Amino acid sequence: MFQYTLRRLFMLIPVLFGMSVIVFAIVHLIPGNPAETMLGERATPEAIERLTQEYGLNEPLPTQYVLYVKNILSGDLGTSLRSKRPISEEIWPYLAATIELAFASMLFAVVIGVNAGIISAWRRQSWFDYVSMLIALIGVSIPVFWLGLMEQWIFANELHWLPSTGRDNARDPVQAITHLYLIDSLIAGRWDQFLDVVRHLILPSIALGTIPMAIIARITRSSMLEVMNADYVRTARAKGVKGFSTVYVHALKNALIPILTVVGVQVGFLLGGAVLTETIFGWPGIGRYIYEAISFRDYPVIQSGILVVATLFVLINLLVDLLYAWIDPRIHYS
């Protein structure tokens, strides 16, 4: 297992290198002077010269790339052109908000999707199978923005059950410690704030998690149908093992590999593709942060935001690879 982990870590090196080259090229692929493009048409020559010197834009491209990588490795993601603050300090609250939303969305997607897929395979061609797969098909087809707006209209505006925007109660804000509000409210011992944060999470997490839930349900059903016909499952049934144990203990573990693959990919998409959901629900996440940076032509923020999200995507896929080996030891022996 240790050697397998080392191999996977070494395989990350070319991936991270290629990713850094692509992110570095964002500014340099812009036609004209990058400094002038970042500052706008009304920028003074002094401001352009200062930005050129600050980012080393007058150096050869290889030198600029080396300086860029050196700054990243030292934790320096640059300075926002709009707020004039270090991006490494500014980005974490937005990233924490997206991580919290992605976690809640994925929890919803996995719990509902996996169990719906398992029961559909277990009760194949039953009414539950047909209904759950129909719902999964609808879930994949519904646009996120439409679902979010419908949730706000029904549950916030009409029924007044849940809040429609934000992360917490503006009149009683959570004291930010880690900027993960679920954890911060527990650290402060404020169960009322914790429940309020959960209420704010419900609508956006369902809107964001519906498509992954539908995909996971369909993949789980397909994977479980294949496993349920295996010899060891029939042997377990012949020995008198109850249906629940046969499905959740014997079959599910051997059907997890494709399910984990889908979950890993969907988590990455949730981290990078939550812009619509964050905009509709007023969620201050990394998607909105990058979107606003694009609107203001804040290229250092765009670069850093894309780099951070891409790095998280790569690390999540590494975690999934390691889980493969933990679930099926044959993988790291081969």
Please write the tens of the pLDDT for every residue from 67-77: 888 888 888 88
- 315 confidence band (pLDDT: 50, 70, 90): confident
pLDDT averaged over every residue in the chain: 82
Residue 59 sits at the vertex; the CA angle it makes with 53 and 65, to the nearest 5 degrees, is 105
- Same structural domain for residues 244 and 200? yes
80 in any annotated domain: no
169 in any annotated domain: yes
Structural domain boundaries, residue 54: 2-73
81 in any annotated domain: no
- Same structural domain for residues 216 and 320? yes
Residue 157 pLDDT more than 80?
A: yes
Q: What is the pTM of this model?
A: 0.84
How far apart CA 169 and CA 171 sit, in angstroms, is 5
- Same structural domain for residues 66 and 123? no
- Same structural domain for residues 55 and 111? no
78 in any annotated domain: no
- Same structural domain for residues 169 and 230? yes
Contact 274, 102 (CB under 8 A): yes
Dihedral of alpha carbons 224, 228, 231, 234, sign: positive
Write down the pLDDT at residue 202.
93
- 104 confidence band (pLDDT: 50, 70, 90): very high
pLDDT in tens, 285-302: 888 888 888 887 788 888
pLDDT in tens, 204-258: 999 989 988 999 998 888 888 887 777 677 776 676 666 666 777 667 777 777 8
82 in any annotated domain: no
Instruction: Write down which residue in 44, 73, 102 finishes a domain.
Output: 73
Radius of gyration in angstroms for the set of CA atoms belonging to the chain, rounded to a whole number:
24
- Same structural domain for residues 69 and 178? no
| Residue 62 neighbours by CB distance under 10 Å | 8
Contact 73, 87 (CB under 8 A): no
Cβ contacts of 174 within 8 Å, gap of 6 or more: 167, 168, 181, 184, 185, 188, 190, 193, 197
Q: What is the CATH number of the domain that holds 238?
A: 1.10.3720.10
Dihedral of alpha carbons 82, 88, 92, 98, sign: positive
- Arithmetic mean of pLDDT, 47-64: 75
Contact 86, 189 (CB under 8 A): no
- Same structural domain for residues 68 and 95? no
Instruction: Write down which residue in 18, 42, 73 finishes a domain.
Output: 73
Instruction: Write down which residue in 73, 98, 121 finishes a domain.
Output: 73
- Token couple for 19: 């990713």
83 in any annotated domain: no
54 in any annotated domain: yes
Using alpha carbons, list the distances in angstroms from residue 44 to 32, 39, 50, 103, 266.
Answer: 16, 9, 10, 45, 45
- 154 confidence band (pLDDT: 50, 70, 90): very high
294 in any annotated domain: yes
Rounded to 5, what percent of the chain is helix, strand, coil? Answer: 75, 0, 25
- Same structural domain for residues 68 and 120? no
- Same structural domain for residues 170 and 41? no
- Same structural domain for residues 23 and 145? no
How far apart CA 18 and CA 7 sit, in angstroms, is 18
Write down the pLDDT at residue 33.
65
How far apart CA 39 and CA 51 sit, in angstroms, is 9
Residue 232 sits at the vertex; the CA angle it makes with 228 and 237, to the nearest 5 degrees, is 75
pLDDT in tens, 177-197: 888 999 999 998 889 999 999
- Same structural domain for residues 103 and 61? no
- Same structural domain for residues 54 and 124? no
Write down the pLDDT at residue 1.
64
Write down the pLDDT at residue 101.
92
Q: What total number of domains does the chain contain?
A: 2
Highest mean pLDDT among 15-19, 22-26, 183-187, 246-250: 183-187
